[in-house]
Structure 1
Amino acid sequence: MAEELLSLTNQLSSFTNSRTVGSTRSPFKFDGADRTEPGAVTEAQLAHNLVDPLPDPRLVRRIIRYRQMRAQHFGPDLFADPVWDMLLDLAAARAEHRLVSVTSLCIASGVPSTTALRYIGVLEELGLIERTADARDRRRRFVGLSRKGALAMARYFADVARQAGGSP
């Protein structure tokens, strides 16, 4: 397991070195102002698709699998972090250019649908996700990271890579 984590951190580190992302500010306090620090991703760059700040979706999916493996060894109730599981799933889906239905996101959360729906509402209120209607089936809705949410996740992964690489 330690070797796999080291491999993940090396992959994250190489990702950060190949793309310019990152900020020292908290991703959830993003105010939309342009950053002047080198390597910072701005909302304007994200909005105009000038950067692809999220890591390879295969890496994110691997992180999700590792998180799910814990339940096999420690039981399903010990590690419950449904909001993070949803954000990881949405980050991977965004990088894959894939739509995620509300039902699928509820399943990804690993908690009962009522609980997952409550968390989806909170994430939407925070502006981290957006819901859109399915053009073909009005009963179905899709969920995706908002620009603010994608930027927050990108900054998180950049910070992890920086820390894993030993950088301040």
Structure 2
Amino acid sequence: MRRLPFITFEGSEGSGKSTQVQRLAARLERSGVPHLVTREPGGTPIGETIRELLQFASHNSSMTPEAELLLFEASRSQLVREIIKPALERGICVIADRFFDSTTVYQGAARKLDRETVERLNVFAVGDCIPNVTFVLDIDAATAKSRMQKPRRRDRMEQEPEEFYESVREA
């Protein structure tokens, strides 16, 4: 069976990742290519619970960068083993809205955690499940912030100061 690619989209909040994921999925659908779309954190029942905790829990303003890192890795590990690897093994193209590059940038660079530790945990979480291609969407912090002003439930990451997003972009 031919293995289809594992494709990830990365970029800061408001960069258009979800839009591009949807466009690619629609194109694959029209072409009859079997595919699966997932996101991080989330994509599994455990991952969605972690997502809610990371993004919206009332006590998350006191979450340490280390706890945040471990929660992202836990969600990713579950997603890889429960969804991504089995889909790839069945010949399904997987498209992910974020993967380990986000953790390297957000928790490593922007939260200033040790990059080597972050990368080791990334490897531990994903094993040999590495994307075939990653698209990085670049956007300046001011444009990203203006895109995030649309009325909706804003998560914790979307409430970071502009300097945080500049760190993300530089990384």
Q: Same fold (TM over 0.5)?
A: no
Structure with the higher strand share, 1 or 2: 2
Report the TM-score, using the length of structure 1 for normalisation: 0.35
